[in-house]
Amino acid sequence: MTRTAPPRPALFLDRDGVLNEDPGYVHRWEDFHWIPGAREAVAAFNRAGWWVFVVTNQSGVGRGYYAEDDVVALHAKMSESLAEIEARIDAFYYCPQHPDAALDAYRHPDPPDRKPNPGMILRALNEWPVDLSRSIMIGDKPSDLEAARRAGIRGLLFPGDDLMAFLQPELKPA
C-alpha cells in the first residue's frame, strides 16, 4: 500500500470475541462462527471508505496448539466469506509470541506486538495512510483498549451481541 494516498480512518478489530465467537484458540474454519453483524459491519465500513484491519493475539501458536500456517489459512477463509458479500479486511496482523510460550522461537518477555502493546496497530499505521484522529479500535478485553490508547486511537469495548448494531453510531463516511 502506498503511503501517498490520502489518509482514511481505520477500523481496527480484534478477532476472537469481536468478529467470531471465542470458545478458545480458534484456528480451524470448521470451528469459526461469525459474531452476528460482523460481516455486515466490515462491509458497511468498506462502503464508507474506511480501512479495516484485524489485530489479534494468537498465543496458541507460541503455546504449540497450532501453527502460523493455520492462522494464515483461517484468515484466508475469513476473506473468502467476506468476499461473498463484497466485503474485505485490508490487512491481518497477528502476534504469535507470548511470555510463557512453549516454543522457544515464540517466547518473549514482553512481545511488542502482543496487546496491550500497540505494535500491530503501529505497524498498520506505518504501512497504510491512516487518519489517526478518526480511527477506532474495537476489542472485547481491556488489553485491546490499552493497545489503542498506546497507539493514540480511540478504543471501544464490544460487549458482545450484534457488531453492526454496536458500530452503527460510529459509521461515518471517510
Residues annotated as catalytic are 14, 16
Per-residue pLDDT at 130: 98
pLDDT 10s digits, 115-151 = 999 999 999 999 999 999 999 999 999 999 999 999 9
Percent of the chain beyond pLDDT 90? Answer: 96
Confidence tier at 2 by pLDDT (50, 70, 90): low
Helix (H, G, I), strand (E, B) or coil at 71: helix
Confidence tier at 167 by pLDDT (50, 70, 90): very high
Find, among 13, 59, 62, 29, the residue nearest to 163 by Cα.
13
Over range 48-64, report the average pLDDT. 97
Please give the torsion angle defined by the CA atoms of residues 161, 164, 166 and 167, in that order, rounded to the nearest 10 degrees. 150
